[in-house]
Chains A and B, each alone.
Chain A
Amino acid sequence: MRQSSRAGTGVIAGRALLLMPFFVVYGALLVWPLGLMVRTSMVDGTVAYNRVVHNPLLRLAITNTIVISVITTFIAVLLGYLCAAAIWKSRPVLRVVVLALVLLPFWTGVLVKNFAWAALLQDYGVVNTLLRAAGLARSPLPLLHNRFAVIVGMVHYVLPYAVFPIFAAMASIDDRLEKAAASLGASRSKMIGLIVLPLTLPGVYAAVLLVFIISTGFFITPLLLGGPRDMMAANLVDYYARQLVDFRAASALAVMIIVVVSVLVTVYQWLPREGQFGSL
């Protein structure tokens, strides 16, 4: 840092020039529309915010968004960790197969995945039919149009976002560490607890952050797989924007969601990191 400031204005100007495309793209595609949205929300002062705050549905939508996102994040990161470990430890051919199994749904549209789940989970769908054929259920289990289905659909969607950062952290572990630990007599579980887990924590943190942010913005999955009670914040934005065509209230709610999620993310980033655990 010090060095660069001594290096003269020419270098700084050059660096600013290199960053230009970044500023242009983010400015034009993110900051500008967000600014427009903030402006729309405040056209008549805080009136639109008042409307949103006094909507009896707001509390439900916010609670749902947080609860569903936290559960989804927990399950997805847990599964993602196991999945990443499997990819990391498997031999080349198997690794490609498992990786493909993660990537294939990643490249599939969310609607396709949701409708597939609907076909699997409905009363006379694949799962219920199999359960009844096997004699495990007499009447159809309620698997669709409830919170369970929403979380299944969301975990399926976000799983790759959990796998990749964790896998990246695993892949960068020096495999000599394991040999060193083994040579010092560490058991397998001790090795995982003292070496693998601490070293992969940055990946886990990144996965949690990414998955949580994506989860809070879900819209179509609660609509298709959930019931009315599983309405999330984005569904309420849609309700304002499309059913009531109240763009001001829709913008106000969107601004509120962005602020809340930003605060959560900032707090999360202040939490102790890998350094503290790694130095145990």
Chain B
Amino acid sequence: MTEDQASLLSKLARGRTSRREFMRQGTLLGLSVPTLLRLLEAPAAAKAGSKVVNVASYGGSYNENFRKGFLDAFEKETDIKVNLGANASLALAKLQAESGNPQWDIVELTGSEYEVAVQQNLVQRLDYKKIDTSKVPAYLKRPHGIMYALFLFVKAYDQRKVPDARAPRTWAEFWDTGRYPIKRSLYQIIADGSLLEAALMADGVPMDRVYPIDIERALKSLDRLGKRNIIWHSTNQEPIQQLTSGEVALATSWNGRVFPARQAGAQINFTADQGVVSGDYLPVVKGAPNREAAYELINFIATNDVAAAQFMVLTTYATSNARVLSLLPKNLADQLPTGDALKSKVLMRNDAWWAEHLESATTRFKQWQVT
């Protein structure tokens, strides 16, 4: 890490670097001369017969940041074109794998979806001879994928009604209807969010005892909060919209959703303590036609420092490249779920538990919701 690199990263952190400047400096810093020459030869459009990899992710601002952070740089460096789509889900991965002729090589999956996909044999074992994982912590590396993006399930609040000084620091405070006599918007897709975990912590269960989840105790805790104090949401932009429109003053959300809304001027914020860390994988679908290109992309994400830094700055999601963390400005590193400041204050989601109890937990929760 040279001084130039450090200054580029800190500029990135402040959001002052345009993409062009980033590329120019990036070229000066890291890219080799052959890469540079290839860059000059290859116009933006992919040449016929050149390599591609088709990636399904979530669309919207996430896709924009994914592209700006990782994919643009990857295309420049490798000359492999990435077609980025939206609407990734376990259902899509399953349809793709079962079709025998998948159109998407990589379908982004959440941690518990990844476990189910492995169980149901929908994704390919990675060839780790082609992927350098020296910068990836062991707990993020799995036979069929690397957890490449990590985010936090947090307590978000409307600063106009709940000033920062009175913000809920624990789930017990978030639950306290005396302290906040207002409605909370909660994420009802419990297999994706971590509502049951939050409910247990609100009931006094220490972080290291949350798993295995006692579903009935979690539901009793939710009963204590009271259904009349709850508005349910099922998409990730809803809580942001509900907080900014004043429909609710507290909501469960993700750090990476609150952050861009704040940057766009919304007067909302979140507290990270007792947040639940979950993450996404980029697994390769069984029978994917562009397997080799997919490995190259996964390798790039696991190894390229500048791209990893750019991605973390843009999204405030942590990435699997743990080495970059120490190179980021402290105020940003402290916000990331894998950073030293938060590491001991947050709970790592147990995806294996969820994969095993997906059906029983979601069915029981739905039943509770409707009675």
Contact = CB atoms under 8 A, between A and B. Distances in A.
A231 B231 CA distance: 15
A55 B363 contact: yes
A145 B184 CA distance: 13
A123 interface: yes
Interface string B295-335: 00000000000000000000000000000000000000000
Nearest to B228: A142
Contact of B370 (A229, A243, A245, A247): A229
Given A60-B370, A243-B191, A245-B90, A228 B232 contact: yes
A79 interface: no
B90 A227 contact: no
B350 to A, nearest CB: 18
B247 A124 contact: yes
A56 B367 contact: yes
A57 B370 contact: yes
Interface string A29-72: 00000000000000000000000000111001000000000000
Given A122-B247, A123-B247, A243-B362, A145 B231 contact: yes
A214 interface: no
A244 B359 contact: yes
A268 interface: no
The B interface, classified by DSSP as helix, strand, loop or mixed, is helix
A227 B367 CA distance: 13
A93 to B, nearest CB: 38
A56 B189 CA distance: 18
Contact of A247 (B94, B246, B366, B369): B94
Interface in A187-237: 223, 227-229, 231
A17 to B, nearest CB: 35
Contacts of A26: none
Contacts of A223: 234
A89 interface: no
B17 interface: no
24 contacts: A56-B363, A57-B366, A57-B367, A57-B370, A124-B245, A124-B246, A124-B247, A125-B245, A145-B232, A228-B188, A228-B232, A228-B370, A239-B366, A241-B91, A242-B90, A243-B191, A243-B362, A244-B359, A245-B91, A245-B94, A245-B116, A246-B359, A247-B91, A247-B94
Interface of A: 55-57, 60, 119, 122-125, 145, 223, 227-229, 231, 239, 241-247
Q: List the 3 closest pairs (A to B, CB-CB), nearest first.
A: A228-B369, A124-B246, A122-B247
